[in-house]
Amino acid sequence: MTATADNARSQLAGTGAGRPLLHSEQAKGLALVSPTFLYAFVLLLLPILVVVAHSFWTQDYLTIDRTFTLENYRLALTEPIYQDLLLRSIFISVTVSIVTVILAYPIAYFISFHGGPHKNLWLFIIMVPFWTSYLLRVMSWKVILGYQGVLNTGLMGVGIIDEPSSALLYNTTAVVITLTHAWAAFAILPIFVSLEKVDRSLLEAARDLGDGPVRSFLRVTLPLSLPGVIAALLIVMIPTVGDYVTPRLVGGTDGVMIANAIQAQFGRAANWPLGAALSVTTMVAVSLVAATVVIGIRTLARAFR
Amino acid sequence: MTLARRLALFWLPAYAAFYVLFLYAPVLLLPLFSVNDSATPTLPLAGFTLRWYSQLAGNQEMINAAWNSLRVGVSAAVLSTLLGICGARALTRYRFAGQRPMGALIMAPLILPEIIVGVSLLLVLLSFGMSLSLVTVTLGHVLICVPYSMVVLMSGFEGFDRSLEEASADLGESAFGTFRRVTLPMVAPAILSSLLVSFTISLDEFIIAFFLSGPDPTLPIYIFGQLRFAARLPAVLALGTIMLVASFLLVTIAEILRRRAARRTHTSGGLFV
């Protein structure tokens, strides 16, 4: 509504004698956005470019040798340890994003279609845990899954197991569970938003034309909410691939992820170029996987329609 | 009753209830075990105590960390809200070339892995010979708070009726007078909401602070250090509980304010939608 009015206004300004007005709208907009943009440019985009540059250089004891080399990438892609960590990180982030989206979809659907007047309250309730400290949430999973933890002592107390199980903590499963919990709320929002946009009259039409509830869900609601599903997958998949806290606290040796290796290169190992190459490799890899998943879902959706 | 109706009327609400339980149970364990009279968080519960909280009161290291977090949080909240005001106002009020890519870069920290943001900032700051301190932590926190500030503020600015400002100017108010007497009161709740949200994010943020902090730890860094010592876990749980309550209160107030702002400008959406 306002956007159209704005467009109309700027068009008016453009057609009439108001060329300078249009120009000044451009100038005012740029001037106003520039502090925020420059901040992100200087402290985010430039640093990322610096990381990319470092990934082609070599650590020479305390200084950086700035001759171009692909050695870091060779190491990142062929060293078994980095291969393992990268594959595991991708595997974990893909698993977590799919599980999170599958668990989140019914909730988003429930709130959108059956939330009644309390939609905002529901969303608020679901978002609150997300606003609490991530570190604390991971810590509580450590408390739950630990050898002397809540789950073990609880199960022993009820008599289901005789001695504590050490299989709960310090493995990939523990990492997946913790991350799924941590990112749950993030997946719900995009799905909810896309479900809200589904034109309810289309569902009525489908019903009038003889589609049952299941068929109208599969043929109308689900395809129309696909953009939200894809957004949710990406919103979970991309950040989780670089998660550091969860593998560190609940992963053990079996659940170490690539972020732990990256951190080591910038900390103890002090090999910035290798750390940079690992970071770049991770981002490229997760982008490729994300693109594949998106294309796969779209193809699947077309095939079913 | 058909299967679909049963699904909608019984199974979906039941699932929703379980889901909320799954979301909250781990979080609520912290307060539960923070008042449990045992040095380890195990079941069954051992009895009620407040001694873990009283232990905190005399812990100078923790108090210093809390003070550091407060300073970083307030600075990050103010800076990210100022930057957010500029960005949100520019994106909602004007149409200009490069709007979309610029907006995308500003919002990028939302989706980037935090370790990438932390590592790249670290590399640049160290390359330029800056030493790590609370200032560098604040710089990093502002970067990741701005997108949230933008979301909150844009929901407050969008649909803002420009004719009110024009009317005020027509009636002889100066530009500053219009801003102070018309614009500011309309968007004040959104600005407050942005301050609270950014403060909460900064208070709870770990990874960026982990990479960018120098000798002075923030609260999450302090907590992370304490996790190595099993004996200190109950005190950490008590501290964690205080932080949970603080985050909860701040976010609730922020959401109430944001809704008030959205009502004034007749829009919906924002932090939770």
- Identify from B1, B116, B157, B265 which residue to disrupt to test chain A contact, counting A C-beta atoms within 10 A and taking the largest count: B116
- Token duo for residue B254: 């922020």
pTM over 0.90: no
Contact criterion met (CB below 8 Å) for B124 and A59: no
Select the more confidently predicted residue: A28 or A53: A53
Q: Tell me how far apart the alpha carbons of residues A137 and B124 are, in angstroms, rounded to a whole number.
A: 31
CATH of the domain at A237: 1.10.3720.10
- Token duo for residue A230: 């894809």
**pLDDT of the residue at B273:** 41
In a domain, A148, yes or no: yes
The total number of structural domains in chain B stands at 1
Chain B segment 140-179 residues within 8 A of A by beta carbon are 140, 142-143, 146, 150, 158-160
In a domain, B27, yes or no: no
Residue at token pair 């049952």 = A212
* Prediction ipTM score: 0.86
In a domain, A191, yes or no: yes
Q: Tell me how far apart the alpha carbons of residues A135 and A245 are, in angstroms, rounded to a whole number.
A: 7
Residues A201-245 pLDDT 10s: 888 888 888 787 788 888 888 888 999 999 999 999 999 999 999
Is there a contact between B23 and A120 if contact means CB atoms under 8 Å apart? no
In a domain, B16, yes or no: no
Is there a contact between B24 and A129 if contact means CB atoms under 8 Å apart? yes
**Contacts of range B263-268, beta carbons closer than 8 Å, 24 or more positions apart:** B264/B186, B264/B189, B265/B156, B265/B157, B265/B158, B265/B159, B265/B160, B265/B161, B265/B186, B265/B187, B266/B159, B267/B155, B267/B158, B267/B159, B268/B155
Residues in Cβ contact with B21 at an 8 Å cutoff, skipping those fewer than 6 apart: none
In a domain, B270, yes or no: no
**pLDDT of the residue at A91:** 94
Which residue of A43, A54, A110 is in closest CB contact with B12?
A: A110
Q: Tell me the pLDDT of chain B averaged across its residues.
A: 86
Which residue of B40, B106, B122 is in closest CB contact with A40?
A: B106
Chain B segment 24-83 residues within 8 A of A by beta carbon are 24, 26-27, 29-30, 33, 40-44, 82-83
The total number of structural domains in chain A stands at 1
B128 contacts chain A (CB < 8 A): no
Q: Tell me how far apart the alpha carbons of residues B80 and B60 are, in angstroms, rounded to a whole number.
A: 30
Q: Tell me how far apart the alpha carbons of residues B263 and B256 are, in angstroms, rounded to a whole number.
A: 11
CATH of the domain at B154: 1.10.3720.10
In a domain, B179, yes or no: yes
Q: A272-304 and B114-127 are packed helices; what angle lies between their axes, rounded to 10 degrees?
A: 150
- A-chain CB neighbours of B251 within 8 Å are 128, 131
Q: Which domain holds residue B255?
A: 47-264
**In whole angstroms, how far apart are CA A246 and each of A143, A187, A252?**
13, 18, 10
Q: Which domain holds residue A101?
A: 80-304
In a domain, A8, yes or no: no
Residues A246-293 pLDDT 10s: 999 888 888 889 999 999 998 777 888 999 999 999 999 999 999 999
In a domain, B149, yes or no: yes
With 60 as the cut, is the pLDDT of residue B16 above it? yes
In a domain, A13, yes or no: no
Residues B134-160 pLDDT 10s: 999 999 999 999 999 999 888 877 766
Chain A segment 68-87 residues within 8 A of B by beta carbon are none
